[in-house]
C-alpha cells in the first residue's frame, strides 16, 4: 500500500508540474470581469423581488425603512375599529367584545412602521449606531396610541366601546424606538434612549407567530414583553447593552429616570444570557420593574358624576418581576418553538396618592391611583409552544398554542371564587362573574399561512381561537373569540 501511495503522489506531482509549465508558455489573460449587480430599481417588480439588505434606501450611513401591513377579517365577538388603538381592533378575546362583525385589521402580523437606522464607521471595528422609528395605522396614518384609545372610550358602556387598551405606544413621535450608541464586534453594542425591553426582543425572536397581533396573544398583548404591564415593553430613558462571543451572548438593560422622563415606571433592570448550538437557540431573562403602570378608563357612572375626569385615566401600580425562558430548534425546513414566563406582581414602592403624569401626556388625577391591589402576590404564568414549516422557500405554515394561568390572590381567604359569585347581565356570558383576583386561565390556538410572491411582500391568512375563564374572565361580556384574518404586508 505504501508503494501504491508513492506512485500516486509522484504521478500527481508530474501532472501538476506539466500543467504549470504549459501555463507559463501561454499569453497572459485578465480575469473575467465580475457580473454586474442587477439594478434593483430597474422596474417596480425587480424592486419588489429584492430585500431591504440587497437594495437599501441609504445615504451617508443612514438607511430609511418601513413596513405597511393592511388586513381585514371577521370576529365572532369583536369590537369596532379605533384608529388610535395600535392594533385597530381587539383580535384577542376582550372584555368589550360583543357579537360578530367584519373589520379592518391593520397590522395583522406586524405593526406598520417607518424609521431610519444609523450606522457609520468611526475607527477600528467601532461604529456609531442608532435608530428612530414610529408605529402608525396604515389606513388613517394615525400614530399608534393605546392610552389615547382608552381616553376616547371614557364613559362608554362595554357594549358600545371600540377597540382600546393600554400600550407603550402612546402617540409619541417615535413610539417604537429612538436611541443612539456605539457598536463593536469586539466589545458589543451600547445604546441609550428609548429602547425595546429584552423581553420584547425575545418575544419577537421566539414567538412562533413572530409577535403577530392577529394570531398571537403574546404579540397582541404586551403583558409578556412588558414584564406584566404592556407599558413596560419599551423604556424611554434606558441604557441597553449586548455582547456576543462565538455562540454565546449576554445582555443587560437599566432604565434611568421615571415618570417625568416619559417612562411607565420609576426604574427597571433586565439581564439576559443565551446560546446557539446544534440547531438550538435558547435565552433566559430576569426582569424587575418598580412602580409599573397599568392604565384603565372611567366607567359611565364616573362620566356622569365627574365629567372633568373624561380627559384623564386611572392607574394601578405594582412592582413586577419575571423570569423568562425561551428556546427554538431548527431542523431543515422545520422550526420548533417553546417559551415560558413567570411574572409576580407586588404592591408598588410608592403610592402616588396625589396623582402623576403618565406616558403620552396622560394625567392620572389625585385619588385615581390604586397602590394596594397586590396585598397577596399575584402570579401569572405564560407558556407557549409552536411549529413553523417551510413548504417552499416562499411559503410557510405555522401553528401555535398559548396558555396563561393566574393564581388566586385574594387577601381575604374567605373570598368566594366560585363561578356564580355575581349574577351576569341578562343575555351575557356568566364567565365574567368570578372576581378579578380569583384563579383563572386564558387559552389560545392559532394557525397561519404566509406566502411571499416577492421578497418584500407577504400575503397571509389565518385565525386565532381564544377563550378566558375564572378570574381572567372577570367583567367580560363574552368568554371567547375567533378572528379569521387575511392581509398584505409590504416592506421597504
Domain ranges in the chain are 57-491
Dihedral sign, Cα of residue 38, residue 40, residue 41, residue 42: positive
Residue 33 is predicted with a pLDDT of: 57
- Cα dihedral 191, 194, 198, 202, rounded to 10, equals -110
Strands 369-370 and 314-331: what pairing? parallel
Residue 383 is predicted with a pLDDT of: 98
Compute the distance between CA of residue 158 and CA of residue 427 in angstroms, rounded to an integer: 14
Query: Do residues 310 and 297 touch, judged by C-beta distance below 8 A?
Result: no
Residues of the chain where predicted confidence (pLDDT) is lower than 50: 1-28, 420-431
Compute the distance between CA of residue 245 and CA of residue 277 in angstroms, rounded to an integer: 13
What is the pTM assigned to this prediction? 0.88
- Cα dihedral 411, 439, 347, 294, rounded to 10, equals -140
Residue 416 is predicted with a pLDDT of: 64
73 Cβ contact partners less than 8 Å away, ≥ 6 residues apart: 102, 103, 105, 108, 214, 483, 484, 485, 486
Compute the distance between CA of residue 231 and CA of residue 234 in angstroms, rounded to an integer: 7
- Cα dihedral 281, 107, 83, 87, rounded to 10, equals -40
Assess if CATH 3.40.50.720 describes domain 57-491.
no
Residue 40 is predicted with a pLDDT of: 85
Beta bridge partners of 286: 271, 323
Compute the distance between CA of residue 155 and CA of residue 6 in angstroms, rounded to an integer: 94
Residue 303 is predicted with a pLDDT of: 61
Compute the distance between CA of residue 91 and CA of residue 450 in angstroms, rounded to an integer: 18
Residue 7 is predicted with a pLDDT of: 32
Residue 433 is predicted with a pLDDT of: 58
Amino acid at each position: 500500500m505504501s508503494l501504491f501511495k508513492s506512485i500516486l503522489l509522484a504521478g500527481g506531482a508530474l501532472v501538476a508540474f506539466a500543467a504549470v509549465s504549459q501555463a507559463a508558455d501561454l499569453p497572459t489573460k485578465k480575469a473575467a470581469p465580475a457580473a454586474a449587480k442587477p439594478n434593483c430599481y430597474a422596474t417596480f417588480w425587480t424592486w419588489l423581488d429584492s430585500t431591504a439588505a440587497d437594495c437599501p434606501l441609504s445615504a451617508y450611513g443612514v438607511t430609511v425603512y418601513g413596513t405597511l401591513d393592511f388586513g381585514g377579517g371577521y370576529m365572532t365577538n369583536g369590537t369596532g375599529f379605533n384608529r388610535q388603538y395600535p392594533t385597530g381592533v381587539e383580535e384577542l378575546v376582550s372584555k368589550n367584545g360583543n357579537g360578530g362583525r367584519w373589520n379592518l385589521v391593520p397590522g395583522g402580523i406586524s405593526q406598520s412602521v417607518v424609521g431610519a437606522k444609523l450606522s457609520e464607521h468611526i475607527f477600528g471595528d467601532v461604529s456609531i449606531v442608532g435608530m428612530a422609528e414610529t408605529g402608525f395605522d396604515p389606513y388613517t396614518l394615525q400614530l399608534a396610541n393605546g392610552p389615547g384609545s382608552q381616553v376616547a372610550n371614557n364613559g362608554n358602556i362595554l357594549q358600545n366601546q371600540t377597540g382600546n387598551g393600554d400600550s407603550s405606544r402612546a402617540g409619541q413621535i417615535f413610539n417604537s424606538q429612538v436611541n443612539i450608541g456605539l457598536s463593536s464586534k469586539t466589545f458589543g453594542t451600547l445604546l441609550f434612549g428609548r429602547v425595546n425591553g429584552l423581553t420584547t426582543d425575545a418575544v419577537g425572536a421566539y414567538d412562533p407567530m413572530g409577535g403577530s397581533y392577529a394570531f398571537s396573544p403574546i404579540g397582541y398583548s404586551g403583558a409578556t414583553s412588558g414584564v406584566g404591564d404592556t407599558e413596560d415593553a419599551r423604556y424611554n430613558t434606558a441604557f441597553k447593552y449586548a455582547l456576543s462571543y462565538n455562540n454565546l451572548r449576554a445582555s443587560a438593560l437599566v432604565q434611568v429616570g421615571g415618570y417625568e422622563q416619559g417612562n411607565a415606571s420609576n426604574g427597571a433592570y433586565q439581564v439576559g444570557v443565551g446560546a446557539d448550538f446544534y440547531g438550538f437557540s435558547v435565552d433566559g431573562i430576569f426582569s424587575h420593574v418598580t412602580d409599573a403602570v397599568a392604565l384603565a378608563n372611567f366607567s359611565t357612572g364616573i362620566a356622569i358624576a365627574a365629567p372633568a375626569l373624561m380627559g384623564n385615566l386611572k392607574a394601578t401600580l405594582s412592582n413586577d418581576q419575571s423570569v423568562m425562558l425561551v428556546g427554538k430548534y431548527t431542523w431543515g425546513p422545520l422550526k420548533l418553538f417553546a417559551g415560558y414566563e413567570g411574572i409576580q406582581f407586588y404592591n408598588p414602592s410608592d403610592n402616588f396618592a396625589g396623582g402623576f403624569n403618565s406616558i403620552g401626556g396622560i394625567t392620572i388625577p389625585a385619588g385615581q391611583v390604586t397602590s394596594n391591589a397586590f396585598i397577596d402576590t399575584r402570579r401569572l404564568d405564560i407558556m407557549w409552544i409552536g411549529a413553523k414549516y417551510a413548504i417552499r422557500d416562499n411559503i410557510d405554515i405555522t401553528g401555535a398554542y398559548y396558555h396563561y394561568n393566574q393564581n388566586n390572590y385574594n387577601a381575604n381567604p374567605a373570598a368566594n371564587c366560585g363561578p356564580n359569585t355575581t349574577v351576569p347581565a341578562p343575555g351575557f356570558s356568566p364567565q365574567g362573574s368570578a372576581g378579578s383576583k380569583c384563579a383563572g386561565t386564558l387559552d389560545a390556538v392559532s394557525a397561519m399561512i404566509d406566502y411571499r410572491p416577492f421578497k418584500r411582500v407577504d400575503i397571509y391568512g389565518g385565525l386565532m381561537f381564544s377563550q378566558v375563564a375564572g378570574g381572567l374572565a372577570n367583567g367580560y361580556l363574552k368568554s371567547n373569540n375567533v378572528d379569521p384574518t387575511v392581509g398584505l404586508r409590504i416592506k421597504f
